[in-house]
Amino acid sequence: MSNSSSIIANLKKNLSKSILGQERLIERLLIVLLADGHLLVEGAPGLAKTRSIKALGEMLEGDFHRIQFTPDLLPSDITGTEIFRPQDGSFHFQKGPVFHNLLLADEINRAPAKVQSALLEAMGERQVTVGGETYSLPTLFLVMATQNPIEQEGTYQLPEAQLDRFLLNVIIDYPSLDDELNIMSLVREEILLKSELDSYQKSKKDKIIKINSEIEKISEKNIFSARFEVLKTYMSTEVERYLVEIISATRKPENFSDELARLITWGASPRASLALDRCSRARAWMHEREFVTPEDIQDLVGDVLRHRIILSYEAESEGITSEDVVNKILNTVSVS
């Protein structure tokens, strides 16, 4: 195990201690971090979406910011705006929250299209242009956006073309009974620790500070070294072809089966191939393998394609989901 691999494994272990019952979310968050992309998470309230990205921010040498998306939000509330200085008659650019390393866009579908577009443009271009000036975003930049699937009233659906900016779209569910019991215990302990700090009991305070100091923060250099190793993870020609054929099956489903052609209206762009390539390499690397297997691709393909394929009216009327279509593709496309 390399030094970078050991650092990321330790990061995953520490995240698992504070985020219980969401192992899939933790792995996807780290995969997106290693693949230099962005994550869209869908799930009911209270499933540790905010807690996960906040915990990651506490373990990295970077800054974290949360934006609660609302219908009255303006694009400048995301990107920043020019402020007039009356003392010298000049304008000064005040950077917005998008200039943080880790950004939580909470309930992104509650903001109107212009606000969504401002964030997604920054995600894609890694820069912001205001008043003719262009400002680069941090080199380490990750956005985790969330959507609440329960409430649809007063929301603005993200356009399919803009959804393509997200590397992965992950759907999370409720924790198991045992995990929920552990969550109750963990939160209770955290409240007790916070109470001890607030009451200034010095012996307890020193103990807590010591515990927190034992978790060494991961530097940007460590992350970039890990990303370099991920890119060097080997993928055979046969596995590469398997990956591309899966994406091709969404664009020209008639070449694979009449059933797929009946269910798919629009397929995935080349961004899907790039996303599946980088994410499958990251997953293989995280599992301490020097090569990518078809299982890596099969595990990630649902999260890569879920938001990138448009189903036909016929499929939707029959209650067929994108997951059903992805499974049909996997059953149709064979490994060479």
Domain ranges in the chain are 20-174, 233-332
Which residue has better confidence, 260 or 46? 260
Q: What is the pTM of this model?
A: 0.90
Residue 280: pLDDT over 50: yes
* Alpha helix (H) residue ranges in 128-236: 160-163, 177-198, 202-213, 220-231
Give domain 20-174's CATH superfamily: P-loop containing nucleotide triphosphate hydrolases (3.40.50.300)
- End-to-end CA distance of the chain: give it in Å, rounded: 30
CATH 2.30.130.10 fits 233-332, yes or no: no
- Per-residue confidence band for 211, with pLDDT thresholds at 50, 70 and 90: very low
Residue 89 token pair: 């008659």
Q: What pLDDT digit, counting tens, does each position of 237-272 carry?
A: 999 999 999 999 999 999 999 999 999 999 999 999
CA–CA–CA angle 146, 151, 154 (5° rounding): 95
Residues 6+ apart with CB under 8 A from 284: 233, 290, 291, 292, 293, 296
User: Scanning the structure block, which residue is given the tokens 């970039």?
Assistant: 224
Mean pLDDT of 39-53: 90
